[in-house]
Amino acid sequence: MDLQQLGWTTELEERFSIEYEGDYIVGRVALEHKRMYRVFTAYGELLAEVTGKLRHEAATRNDFPAVGDWVVLAPRLQEGKATIVAILPRKSKFSRKMAGVTTEEQIVAANIDTVFLVNALTLDLNVRRIERYLLLAWESGANPVIILSKADLCPNVEEKVQAVEAVALGVPIHVISAEQNQGIEHLKTYVEPGQSVALLGSSGVGKSTLVNVLFGEEKQAVKQVREDDDKGRHTTTHRELVVIKNGGVVIDTPGMRELQLWEADSGISQSFQDIEQFIVQCRFSDCRHEHEPGCAVIAAIESGELEQQRYFSYLKLQRELAYLARKEDKRAELAAKKKWKKMTGDRTRLNRP
C-alpha cells in the first residue's frame, strides 16, 4: 500500500526514523476488534496486537491504538501478523465520553483532517445535536464539514439549511442526495490522496451509502431506515478505515445513539462565538446574564439577535462540561492512587529476600 495515500507525512517519517531502529515498520490502524487490530502497511494488511509492555503501561483506553492511529510494528510478514510496540503522536482525535456511567474517553477516530457531520434532511435533523457534534469536532483538531443528506426526500431544503446555518457559524454545509448523485462532486475535494475524513452521525443518515459513493462501488452494507421514525438499523457496527480509490481515506463509524461530551474547552468558544461576543460586551465582567443591568446577552435575546433556545443550549453544554470535569478530576485522583499503590507493591516484592 502507498503510505502517502494513507496520510503518512515527512514529519512522521522523521519521528519514526529518529526514535526507532531495527526491523520495525509502520502502519495505520484500519479496524479494531476485541484488542486485535487490522493494520494497513507498505507490505499489505497485517493482523496485530499490542505488546504486553504497552498493555501494562496503559493507564486508560486512550493509551491503546484507535482506528486511524499510526503505529510502530514488529512484523512477522510470513504469518501476516505483527506486534504493536508504540503509537506515534496523534495530530487530531475525535473523542466522546464512553456511553454509560464510566467517565472515560473513547477515541472515535484519530489523525483526521476533516470531520463530515452527516445529518439527514428528514425527521432526523436536529440543530441541538448538530451543536453538540460541532463542539467535539472543533475540539478534535480537525475541520468540521456539515453534510445534509437525503435532499431528494425533503420538501423544504432551504428552510432547514437556514436553521443549520444559524448554529454552524463559518462551517461549510453541503446538501447532497446519494441516490441522485447530487452534491457528491463537492465532497470529493476533501478526500484527496493523503487526506483523512471521518464520517459521524446518527444511524440511518446515510454514512455507509456515502462511503460507497465515494469509493465508487458497494464497500459498506446498506439497510433501509424504518419509515415510522426515520431511524436506521445500525448497518455499520464498528469503526473502519476505508481507502478510497485514487484518493485518501474515510473512517466510517456506527450510528451514535448518544453523543456525550468529552473535554471541549476550546471547542465551546469556537462553536458559540456568537454568544461569547455578546458576553464580553456585558457591563460587568462577572455578569450572570440573568437580571443584571447592561447585560448584552439579555439585550441580544430581547432584540432577536440571539435565539433564546441557542443560549439555553450553550448553558446546558457548559454545565455538562463542568460536571464532566469534576468527575474526571476524581477519576484521575483515584487512578493516581491505584498506580502509586501498585508501584509500592512492586517495590515491596522486589525488596523481599
Q: Could you tell me which residues are annotated as the binding site for Zn(2+)?
A: 282, 287, 289, 295
| Residue 147 β-bridge partners | 118, 174
Cα–Cα distance, 70 to 336 (Å, whole number): 28
Phi/psi of residue 110, nearest 5 degrees: -120, 155
Q: Which residues are annotated as a binding site?
A: 149-152, 201-209, 282, 287, 289, 295
Cα–Cα distance, 170 to 143 (Å, whole number): 11
Cα–Cα distance, 215 to 243 (Å, whole number): 8
- For residue 211, give the nearest of 249, 174, 238 by alpha carbon: 249
With H, G, I as helix, E, B as strand and everything else as coil, classify residue 154.
coil
Q: Which residues contact 313 (CB under 8 A, 6 or more apart)?
A: 128, 131
Q: Which residues are annotated as a binding site for GTP?
A: 149-152, 201-209
Angle of helix 127-140 relative to helix 308-351, nearest 10 degrees, comes to: 40
Tracing cell 494497513 back to the chain, one arrives at: 40
Cα–Cα distance, 128 to 314 (Å, whole number): 10
Tracing cell 435533523 back to the chain, one arrives at: 125
- For residue 118, give the nearest of 169, 182, 174, 179 by alpha carbon: 174
**Residue 108 in contact with residue 133, Cβ under 8 Å?**
no
Q: Which amino acid is at 80?
A: G
**Residue 64 in contact with residue 85, Cβ under 8 Å?**
no
Q: Which amino acid is at 293?
A: P
